[in-house]
Chains A and B, each alone.
Chain A
Amino acid sequence: MAFGIVHIIYAMNAAVMTLTFVIIFKKYLTEKNKLTLIFSLVILTYAVICTIFVGRGLFDANTAGSMLFQRLYVVTMPIIGISLATFIFYPIIIQRGGFKDGGAVTLLYTILWAVAFTTMFMLGTGEMTYQYSELAVDLYSITWGGLSYSQILSIMLVIGTTDIIGLAIMVYLESDPFFKTRALLLFVGWLMSVVGVVLVIIPGLLILNPVVFGLGGYIMAYGILRNPPQ
């Protein structure tokens, strides 16, 4: 079993995000607001990703079980990005429906879905290799066709980066101090989560992945769970 500090941090993050999901989903059951449901799915996916990573730690490295959980972990990654994109862009599409800029946002959103499906397919079917002998770290690589692991993850980062820009626009446009702070916390939290994913492909900084990714999750959870003024 390769369970270590990395998995403990991920387990803590999974617990926090699961609790956050329960609170938001209860709110959805009361108010039946579609946006609440969409955001609860973002948080649920976050919790699932963390839980899968914890599952990987239950197996020895470079075994079938470890590789299965690693593949599940990376395949699930685009789902959180596309769920967040839905939360950000769905109300804009509704708001600007019938206008040119609304059409542009719809096109962008459709492209993000295509990117999500493509990268999920590549990561789900690509060839997986264990890289300890080359890099001396507990790292897997997935290649697909002529594309390297870094190139596949770079394609996936299109979704994460678009979400970062969307959240930055939210921060800029919001005038109410409480909700501006909420948008800022979501922006910072998601930015850190994306940076955390990027760290996975930089062997020297790999150890920082759970800390940065986890901290990003905590910041998002804090932004969500703060009580708005009545």
Chain B
Amino acid sequence: MEFLEIHHNEGDIAMSVAKSQEIFVFCDIYKKNILLKIPEKGDAKRVGGLLAILSIHGNPKHESLFYLDANYRVRGCEYPAIIESETISTHPARLLAKKGLTLEQLVSCFGNKSKTAVSNFTKFIVQTLIRNNSYLIESDLINGDTVRDHIELLFSEQGISLTLIRREEEDKVTGIYPTVFDLESKKFLTEGVNLKIPYFENLVKDIMKEKDNFYSLQNELSKMIYSYTKLKEILSTTSSSIKDTELARDISIDLPVLTILTKMAENEGIDIKTKVEFNGIGRALRSF
């Protein structure tokens, strides 16, 4: 395993490297996306296993040790300076990942066949991500609570709208296009807002192949939510329209995810149609 140390200033990078790979990861303590520049010599693809990168950033400064796989996706994170403190040992993601459901078990609650389960789980996660009213139906409240708690954990401290109800409480469902999933029959009653989500399905499938996948998915979702906060900041301060390709770059997110984030913003009443311009030619150049 290769080990690299990177020092960050607040919000940017102090380390200078001639040629490097750049990735964003979400720091659980800092609650922000951190840009890591990985020098070519530390290319995880060459060393084969995980690449450990120590990042020193934030205000006050703290250390985060990120473990990256060959696809530069975070497989885990430790905080060496406080590793024995209560903060890390009681971090909810780790507690539930150790004591609760694995990501595979959580996904299997959404379908009997693996393919259906991944598809349903992804649909439900995306609907929850765009802050659509999401409901889980489960008469066994202990089982229902467990599933709900794990989904809430995936969106750590981000204020989602997820409610657990019994079958006879269907009249409690509100919203124009709510998403309602029956955990007993493992079927949607209503799927919510119509969205194309192949990017997310591939992301979930990809993450499920790896170890420590619960944390990876949580980190990916946290990155998206952080980018969404940046998106709202930018759109609230700009009076002119902005190309979607430029917006994606400014908030450090992939273009397919931007579509979902703009949907979230629309759900919150932000005027996306006049403020965000679809850059067709730009998308063509970014398609390979």
Do A and B bind?
Answer: yes
CB-nearest residue of chain B to A34: B287
11 A-B residue pairings within 8 Å (CB atoms): A35-B287, A36-B287, A39-B284, A40-B288, A95-B279, A95-B281, A173-B281, A174-B281, A176-B249, A179-B286, A227-B21
Contact A229 B284 (CB under 8 A): no
* Residue from the set B21, B72, B245, B282 with the largest chain A CB neighbour count within 10 Å: B282
Which residues of B come within 8 Å of A, CB atoms? Answer: 21-24, 72, 198-199, 202, 243, 245-246, 249, 256, 278-288
A63 to chain B: which residues have CB within 8 Å? Answer: none
Contact A88 B284 (CB under 8 A): yes
Contact B22 A170 (CB under 8 A): no
Contact A170:B199 (CB < 8 A) given known A95-B278, A176-B245, A230-B21: no
Other-chain residue from A33, A94, A95, A183 in contact with B287 (beta carbon distance below 8 A) = A33
Give the docked Cα–Cα distance between A35 and B282 (Å). 11
Q: In chain A, residues 81-130, which have Cβ atoms closer than 8 Å to a Cβ of chain B? A: 87-88, 90-92, 94-96
Give the docked Cα–Cα distance between A176 and B21 (Å). 18
Contact A35:B249 (CB < 8 A) given known A95-B278, A230-B22: no
Other-chain residue from B281, B284, B288 in contact with A27 (beta carbon distance below 8 A) = B288
Contact A179:B202 (CB < 8 A) given known A95-B280, A230-B23: no
Per-residue contact bits, chain A 11-33, to B (CB 8 Å; 1 contact, 0 not): 00000000000001001001111
Chain B: interface secondary structure? helix
Give the docked Cα–Cα distance between A160 and B258 (Å). 34
Contact B287 A229 (CB under 8 A): no
Give the docked Cα–Cα distance between A224 and B285 (Å). 9
Contact B286 A228 (CB under 8 A): yes
Quick check: is A175 within 8 A (CB to CB) of the other chain?
yes
Other-chain residue from A32, A33, A170 in contact with B285 (beta carbon distance below 8 A) = A170
B285 to chain A: which residues have CB within 8 Å? Answer: 170, 174, 179, 182-183
Quick check: is A8 within 8 A (CB to CB) of the other chain?
no
CB-nearest residue of chain B to A87: B284
Contact B22 A229 (CB under 8 A): yes
Tell me how many residues of A have a C-beta within 8 Å of chain B: 32
CB-nearest residue of chain B to A27: B288
Contact B286 A39 (CB under 8 A): no
Per-residue contact bits, chain A 213-230, to B (CB 8 Å; 1 contact, 0 not): 000000000001001111
Give the docked Cα–Cα distance between A40 and B243 (Å). 25
A173 to chain B: which residues have CB within 8 Å? Answer: 281-282
Contact B287 A169 (CB under 8 A): no
Give the docked Cα–Cα distance between A224 and B24 (Å). 23
Per-residue contact bits, chain A 154-191, to B (CB 8 Å; 1 contact, 0 not): 00000000000000011001111001001100000000
Give the docked Cα–Cα distance between A104 and B24 (Å). 41
Contact A31:B256 (CB < 8 A) given known A36-B287, A88-B284: yes
B286 to chain A: which residues have CB within 8 Å? Answer: 179, 228
Other-chain residue from A40, A87, A94, A176 in contact with B246 (beta carbon distance below 8 A) = A176
